[in-house]
Structure 1
Amino acid sequence: MAARRLGPDEEALWARVRATVRAMPGRKAAAPSPERLPLPAPATGMTVAGVPTPPPSHARREPGHTLDGGWDRRLASGVVAPDRTIDLHGHTLASAHAALEMGLGQALMHGDRVILLITGKPPRPESQRPHARGAIRAAIPDWLRLSAFSGAIAAVRNAHPRHGGAGALYVVLRRRR
């Protein structure tokens, strides 16, 4: 991936970030240089980790929220067989986000229509202990909305119990035209 120069405001922001970075105990490390940071959005046709980027018309459209009644009934009854499964169990937030982006890109490249996104169940409301469970599930709506592939998403629905129920989502992609 090609590097680009930072603008003055980005350079100032990067300096503030560098000032807050501390090495872990017993380690000697320097903050990564801005040249090693990924570009915010590669140009059309470039690939990120082997996944093609969508054309600009798809880049900033919001994921859709509606499907026709037939789709919703089939998803709710669990008769739709997902074309691809993306399992985010065992990931950190950063690696889950990267796996989601890569999976969406691959699904689009292969013409898949329905993705089963396994996130894990959110914490129960009665749970009293402090924990970080459900962090990936909570981040999914933002990740999908801000994704480079958001314009290719027709809808996101809760999965049927046979596909994971509360621990999974269906991501329905738009048909290719």
Structure 2
Amino acid sequence: MSRPPRGLSPEEAELWARLAATVKPLHPRRAAKPAAAATEPAAPPPPPRPRVKGRVPPPLPPAPPPPAPGRPLDQHGLDSSWERKLARAAVAPDFTLDLHGHTLDTAHARLDQGLTQAVAMGARLVLLVTGKPRPSDDYASRGERRGAIRAKLLDWLAAGPHASRIAAVRGAHPRHGGAGAVYIVLRRSRD
């Protein structure tokens, strides 16, 4: 239960008035509140409504689940020649990173290290092998089952240190791992 404000004592009100007189207003056109209003205590809040016997307010509906985090990386566009090359596996990956057998923590660290290495090498196309995803509409528990690395991948990439270097993320061609892998297309470095 909160207490009502106590107001200012006469000494405090005098100090406040002296201080307020030295302040230059940011917006002088606005009307200043009188100093006397600061010394008057605020009106106490209205008392709570008494409960009527037999009437209980209905419970609040449960809050809707938070929306799935935005995933801008799978919406980035590539020019049509890149899309065709990736669809036909006509371009070979410059760098391959395999996250099989890792826990979520070690996979996340390895992903960041691998992308740092790929950027340093000047790679444009990274093949990231994650394993096949498990179908799930439950975003809250997607990191607790098989396919957890694949489920977290886009979140890690979007929030990671290399997000600005990633042009697109696309599913891999069956020749390069199919549903168990993705291509990460890196932007060309501007030297």
TM-score by length of 2: 0.56
Deviations, residues 14-51 of structure 1 (Å, cap 9, x unaligned): xxxxxxxxxxxxxxxxxxxxxxxxxxxxxxxxxxxxxx
Per-residue CA deviation, residues 106-149 of structure 1 (Å, 9 max, x unaligned), is 01111011000000011257xxxxx7111000000000000111
C-alpha distance in structure 1 between counterparts of 2:147 and 2:168, whole Å: 21
Higher Rg:
2
Match of 2:165? Answer: 152
Which of residues 124, 132, 135 is equivalent to 2:148?
Answer: 135
Matched, 1:170 2:183: yes
Residues of 1 paired with 2:165 and 2:134: CA distance?
30
- Pairs aligned (count): 111
Moved over 6 A (4+): none
Against the structure 1 CA distance between its residues 145 and 124, is the aligned structure 2 distance closer, same or farther, given a 3 Å change threshold? closer
- Structure 1 residues without counterparts, runs of 5 or longer: 1-61, 126-130
Distance 1:90 1:174 in 2: 29
Alignment-derived partner of residue 72 in structure 1: 83
- SS of the counterpart of 1:154? strand
What aligned pairs does 1:6-155 form with structure 2 within 5 A after superposition?
63=73, 65-123=76-134, 132-155=145-168
In structure 2, how many angstroms separate the alpha carbons of the residues matched to 1:175 and 1:96? 25
Residues in 2 aligned to 1:92 and 1:166: alpha-carbon distance in whole angstroms: 20
Structure 2: gaps (5+ residues): 1-71, 137-143
1:70 aligned counterpart, secondary structure: helix
SS of the equivalent of 1:176 reads coil
One-letter amino acid of the counterpart of residue 69, structure 1: S
TM-score by length of 1: 0.60
Q: How many Å separate the matches in 2 of 1:123 and 1:158?
A: 15
CA displacement at 1:80 relative to structure 2: 1.0
